[in-house]
Amino acid sequence: MKSYKPKKSAFEPMDAYEKQLIQDMENGEFVEIPNQKEEIKKYVNYFKNMPKKDKRVTIRLDKSDIEDIQEKAIESGIPYQTLIASILHKFAKGKINIGV
């Protein structure tokens, strides 16, 4: 892999996270996704076929709860609002039970 040398003026100041990303790229930690075009098509089709949302809901959540949900969403690789909607959908369809 070709070494990446950023222009100092374009990237300063770099924080530790950005420096680690560059180091990881140079060390080959990131690899290209095999069958990238097929993977893109799969996810494009997935999102095209998702049901359209037609009702907005506003709720108040405890700050620590929303932070925990956001953390779990990051681990799952999806937006936290999508995760919340998915959980509510599964509950509404009887796929999960919380003992209510």
| Sequence ranges of the domains in the chain | 7-50, 53-100
Q: What is the reported pLDDT for 66? A: 95
Query: Coil, helix or strand for 86?
Result: helix
pLDDT given at position 68: 95
Cβ 36 vs Cβ 14: under 8 Å: no
What's the topology of domain 53-100?
Arc Repressor Mutant (1.10.1220)
Whole-Å CA distances, 64 to 60, 67, 69, 80? 12, 5, 9, 14
Which pLDDT value is given to residue 9?
58
Q: Is 35 left (phi over 0), alpha (psi -120 to 50) or beta?
A: left
Q: Whole-structure pTM over 0.75, yes or no?
A: no
Contact 61, 70 (CB under 8 A): no
- Rg of the Cα trace of the chain? 20
The pairs formed by 89-94 with CB atoms below 8 angstroms and a separation of 24 or more are none
Residue ranges, the chain, pLDDT below 70: 1-13, 100
